[in-house]
Amino acid sequence: MTGGADGSGGSDPGTGGGNGSGGGGSTTAEGPCDIYKAAGNDCVAAYSTIRRLFSTYTGPLYQVRSGSNAMNTGSGGELHDVAQNASGFADKAAQDAACGSGTCTVAKLYDQSGHENHITVAKAGLTNGGANAATDDFETIANKGPLKVAGQDVYSLYMEARQGYRQTVAGDGMALGDDPQGIYMLADGTRVGTACCWDFGNVTPNPKSYAEMNTLFLGIAYWGRGAGNGPWFGADFEAGVWMGGSNPGEPGWGGLNDAANAPANSNNPAMKVKYALGFQKTGNGPERYALRMADIATATSVTTAYAGNYPSGKHLDSKGAVVLGVGGDNSNYSFATFYEGAIMKGYPSDDTENAVFQNVKAIGYGK
């Protein structure tokens, strides 16, 4: 691990140099971004506090801030990059040594795609996102989510309400306008919020503006519904969360003003499971979207909850900034635990997503 001045980012994440921190592993094991790249859907933003997602990435996975506090909005303390070990997993022991017995927070998630779309704590947004949305968010406590993956002891990103990460510029290579885009995310469906909005995806660079979004949601929304009592994966396009449907009244429809009149989408399963994998994709010529998901602990295939036309009254208009854990206007009342995820170019095929499912399933979460 390396230390650095506040905001320095430590060692170069593309090369993994310096004081043992970059430490890239020697293994070239295939990750989800290798699968997407082979299919022509290059990852443009990829994050995990747990493992390497792209076999050629040799840099640190994330950065922690020692000497921090539970309400840190992105300053002070000492920064330390968390390296990979030889197997491509985060070096938990080095994080523990750097953090010591004091409070340590996650200051940065490094983008493993090579586009350097690193994300830091989210900044204040609009008051219509809730009372706390108009204030800066807090960094996540670094050691609250220990787990074992493939026999490795690691930490998840155990996010609480008012904790989020985002860019305030359009990211390199990110979808803009009606460019097609894919997203995958693995998260803990057993601890999720029932408010707005725990998202991962593409939003406006300016949290104080109101703009179209293109994100994958996990939780129980005020709007669209799936089977059972949730939580569900949905599409947050702003002014609603869709669990399916292209017109008002269709199953899963999630428009802000008319979702109450729509039935639940029985094809969108409740994902109250420890390792919930979700996929969203948008574009593909005429404006379309799809939602797919699986419980990697028990499923043998991926469920397609919806694949069809984009919601009527909405327009695919991506703004290009990455967000994780909050909404585009910094709506920050929800929470969940993030394991890994990526945003990629184009409209990935079902076969490509099925291969990513098999990769994530095989890695050994919880084992």
Catalytic residues, by residue number, are 238, 329
Burial class (CB in 10 A: 0-12, 13-18, 19+), 259: buried
On the 0-12 / 13-18 / 19+ scale of CB atoms within 10 A, 203 is buried
CA separation for the pair 163, 133 (Å, rounded)? 11
CA distance 119 to 207: 14
Q: What is the DSSP letter of 346?
A: S
CA distance to 71, 99, 104, 121, 323, per residue, from 8 (Å): 20, 18, 17, 14, 21
Q: Are strands 288-295 and 165-166 parallel, antiparallel or unpaired?
A: unpaired
Query: Phi and psi for 266 in degrees, rounded to 5?
Result: -70, -15
Handedness of CA 253, 256, 257, 261 (dihedral sign): positive
